[in-house]
Amino acid sequence: MQAQQAPASVGRVTFSGYVRDAATGENLIGVAVVHPGTGNGTSTNTYGFYSLTLPATGDTTRLLASYLGYQRQLMPVRLDKSQSLNIRLTSAMSELDAVEIVGTKQEKLAETTRMSTVTIPLNQIKAVPALFGERDVLKVLQLLPGVQSGGEGQTGLYVRGGSPDQNLILLDGTPVYNASHLFGFFSVFNADALNNVELIKGGFPARYGGRLSSVLDITMKEGNMREFHGEGGVGLIASRLTLEGPIKKDTSSFIISARRTYIDVLARPLVNWALAAEGIPRDERPTVGYFFHDVNAKVNWKLSQRDRLYLSAYTGRDKFYARSKDSGDDGEYNRLKSGLGWGNLTAALRWNRIINDQLFANTHLTFSRYQFDVGIEEENRYRNNGELKTDKFALRYLSNIRDFSLKTDFDYLPLPDHYVRFGGQYIFHHFRPGAVQLKSSDPDANLDQFNTSSRTLGHEVGVYAEDDYKVTERLKINAGLRLNGFAVDNKFFPSVEPRLAARFLLTEDWALKGAYARTSQFIHLLTNSGIGLPTDLWVPATAKIKPQKAQQISLGAARNLRFKDEDYELSLETYYKPMLGLIEYREGANFLGTTDNNWQDKVTSGKGWAYGAEVFVQKKTGRTTGWIGYTLSWSKRRFEELNQGEIFPFKYDRRHDAKLVLIHQFKENLRLSGTWVYGTGNAVTLSRGRFVLGDYTQYDDYGPRNSYRMRAYHRMDLDLSYTKKKKWGEIVNSFSLYNAYSRQNPYYLYFSRGYTDSNGNVQEKPSYKQISLFPVLPSFSKSFKF
């Protein structure tokens, strides 16, 4: 009894543990755990762990756990000794119930230190209208201010004037180098397998490194610990299925999710019908097809009260193929086979350990590979002097990058006013920018560069420390330092990266925020901007090609609003980001013929600037949810060997960019969602005129680089979903319209020479004409849960 009534000066007590979904056992990320009496609180980390230290008064009190979409839970505790306290939250009965039950005790936008960070609830991601019925995480992120796509239907992320290679995309902590399927129209992430999606556009915490523009941190589900469940869907071009359940109840679980498109299967009868109409015999008709597939899998074990082990993997691949055979007389034929493929493979082994009530450790061993390959094989059988002979020819071009990584992170929470993180990482990079293999019946023509000369090895190391520190009730800062280094070809590139973010409360609901981050990137992506294929090559910094570096300064304000009993969040941000060490192909160069390290002779280095302002209003609860975003921005580049050394707009420089997302729940089973986007047209380089030299060769006179603009882009998408409850689960029928008012948006421009009639009269003047990709596209999809 004496210990129970000890005064606060005697010491402190710590409550720690995991917060999980009561039904599934899934870890919950970002749950607020608060002591209402003092106002002290904390939140769960990426693995659902929390730690809260309070004065040891001996009193009986309560802790409050609150999370969007779940019922708040009050837990009686006694402030006499430290203890482990695992919390299970019950999901609200429906999205409408969640309006009344949750959302009021979350850490408000104005209170958090971090800025330029957005977390979108998965139920909103799944509610946003989708192209061909495929819910896509990256397309939803493109609807945020400061983020844009590269073109019509594309999934690439261009964040605050950066390029796609400057985004660190993590799936369960493992980098994903190519995040797109179907030539960029869909992402590799299956929303059914995901638990949390967070995008950081600036003010990066010290724990993240290796990229300049953004961090996309995606966490997979861990599998239902208590019951077997499944969900899936059937759309116009693809189907998906997710299964999860316990291996041993409350001890271990699994989840596996798979998806495959059937474009090739659906298109084959149409192709055969068209070829038959042309009179081509069945055995001579070419076979052409394309498909993609991906699989996510994860297993987790609860080794003890303090230890958990996770094993996760992802594999996905796109494949385009074409096969044909022309048969002649007397056994002669010509057989041709070609293919184009690309894909990712990732694997991660993760060990979580609660070292003590205030210290949490996560050790992560990962592997990641991205590979692109294209090949052609030809077999020709013919007669020579009556003798049947066969010639064979095969050509293969391959490019890949492989990473092996070991990383350890520590979360230390000594007091409610401090949240300390520190750790380190080592990455072994294996680059093969290009390798060629040529095989022929003629032994003198064979060529094989699939050898060590086409490989480059790199070693990247990093250590960091950061503290989220509440200085006063009004002032809170996150200060950190990251030390990085990269060794390649007997060259070492060090990097010192300070990080600082701060918020100052003007009132309870208004806050001023600022952030500074210095970042470095030791890898580059060689991009052919004019080719719509995944032919981009990952290459390392070298003695000749320096690493990319950037600084970003962000200033802004945040406000929590309440209007007609509804909660809103408002953020205003400005940013300035200078970049060094950017690379581009020299004029006329491309990936073809890139082998060994000769890519360094095809590129030139330069610098860039990006700056702008963003406005973001978001509503997460109520019958109507969604957000409005607007960005005013500039993005410029300068290369000494391009555009005569003059500054030019980045291809995806977009002056005005506006987005609107609305999701309205009419009833528990009826939902309507819509999006509308508007953006200034992309910058392009066009010929100003043409001239002919003495040899009658025609040449184009190009103006300054990216000095012309395509037409403005705007589009509306709509989706109506109806849910049917069944004894075994539910079925959701969705009807959607992509580009609802059929705007003819520019995809690319081409030059039309025009023509004259027989009398020499001009009937059509030479001009540039626009190609549009998608008119209004209706689609229907059916998803289910059991």
Tokens representing residue 196 in the block:
């949390």
Read off the pLDDT of each residue in 214-228 and give the average, rounded to a whole number: 91
Q: Which amino acid is at 140?
A: V
Tokens 């882009």 identify what position?
A: 713
pLDDT at residue 339, as a whole number: 86
Residue 313 pLDDT more than 90? Answer: yes
Read off the pLDDT of each residue in 356-380 and give the average, rounded to a whole number: 91
pLDDT at residue 208, as a whole number: 95
454: Cα within 13 Å, side-chain hemisphere: 18
pLDDT at residue 372, as a whole number: 86
Give yes or no for a contact between 300 and 309, defined as CB atoms under 8 angstroms apart: yes
Q: Which amino acid is at 363?
A: T
Read off the pLDDT of each residue in 579-606 and give the average, rounded to a whole number: 77
Q: Which of 23, 221, 166, 29 is nearest to 106 (CA)?
A: 29
**pLDDT tens-digit profile of 56-115?**
888 888 999 988 888 888 989 898 888 899 999 998 754 444 333 333 344 566 678 888
Residues in CB range of 117: below 8 A, 6 or more apart: 198, 199, 200, 201, 203
pLDDT at residue 98, as a whole number: 37
The secondary structure element, H or E, covering residue 12 is strand 12-21
200: Cα within 13 Å, side-chain hemisphere: 23
Tokens representing residue 341 in the block:
């493929």
Fold of 117-785: Maltoporin; Chain A (2.40.170)
The sign of the dihedral angle between the CA atoms of 72, 78, 82, 84 is: negative
Distance, CA of 626 to CA of 619 (rounded, Å): 5
pLDDT at residue 530, as a whole number: 44
Confidence (pTM): 0.88
- Binned at pLDDT 50, 70 and 90, residue 411 comes out as very high
Q: Could you give phi then psi for residue 151, rounded to 5 degrees?
A: 180, -175
Distance, CA of 44 to CA of 17 (rounded, Å): 9
Distance, CA of 351 to CA of 407 (rounded, Å): 11
pLDDT at residue 531, as a whole number: 40
Percentages helix, strand, coil for the chain (3-state, rounded to 5) are 10, 60, 35
Domain locations in the chain?
8-101, 117-785
Alpha-carbon 690 to chain mean position: 42
pLDDT at residue 475, as a whole number: 93
- Binned at pLDDT 50, 70 and 90, residue 532 comes out as very low
- 56-65: b (≥16 Cβ within 10 Å) or e: bbbeeeebeb
pLDDT at residue 483, as a whole number: 97
Read off the pLDDT of each residue in 405-422 and give the average, rounded to a whole number: 94
29: Cα within 13 Å, side-chain hemisphere: 18
Question: DSSP labels for 501-562?
Answer: EEEEESSSSEEEEEEEEEEEE-EEEE--TT--SS--EEEE--SSSPPEEEEEEEEEEEEEEE
Residue 594 pLDDT more than 60? Answer: no
Residues in CB range of 477: below 8 A, 6 or more apart: 113, 468, 469, 471, 500, 501, 502, 503
Tokens representing residue 103 in the block:
């959302």
Residues facing 462 on adjacent strands: 425, 484
- Binned at pLDDT 50, 70 and 90, residue 534 comes out as low
Residue 49 pLDDT more than 60? Answer: yes
Strand, coil or helix: what is 600? helix
Three-state SS letters, 259-322:
EEECHHHHHHHHHHHHHHHCCCCHHHCCEEEEEEEEEEEEEEEECCCCEEEEEEEEEEEEEEEE
pLDDT at residue 614, as a whole number: 96
Residue 727 pLDDT more than 60? Answer: yes
Give yes or no for a contact between 682 and 651, defined as CB atoms under 8 angstroms apart: yes
Give the chain's mean pLDDT: 85
Q: What separation in angstroms does the CA of 393 have from each of 28, 42, 327, 437, 439?
A: 56, 65, 18, 11, 6
* % of the chain surpassing 70 pLDDT: 89
Read off the pLDDT of each residue in 10-37 and give the average, rounded to a whole number: 87
Residues in CB range of 198: below 8 A, 6 or more apart: 117, 118, 119, 215, 216, 217, 218
pLDDT at residue 178, as a whole number: 85
- Binned at pLDDT 50, 70 and 90, residue 595 comes out as low
Distance, CA of 495 to CA of 547 (rounded, Å): 10
Q: Are strands 683-684 and 229-234 parallel, antiparallel or unpaired?
A: unpaired
Distance, CA of 441 to CA of 197 (rounded, Å): 53
Q: What separation in angstroms does the CA of 471 have from each of 53, 419, 478, 503?
A: 17, 12, 10, 10
**pLDDT tens-digit profile of 441-497?**
776 666 555 555 568 899 999 999 999 999 998 999 999 999 999 999 889 999 999
Q: What separation in angstroms does the CA of 233 have from each of 120, 574, 626, 726?
A: 22, 41, 24, 16
**pLDDT tens-digit profile of 648-696?**
999 889 999 999 999 999 988 999 999 999 999 888 888 777 766 666 6
Q: Give the CATH H-level superfamily of domain 8-101.
A: Carboxypeptidase-like, regulatory domain (2.60.40.1120)
pLDDT at residue 191, as a whole number: 87
- Binned at pLDDT 50, 70 and 90, residue 308 comes out as very high
Least confident among 97-111, 180-194, 415-429, 719-733: 97-111
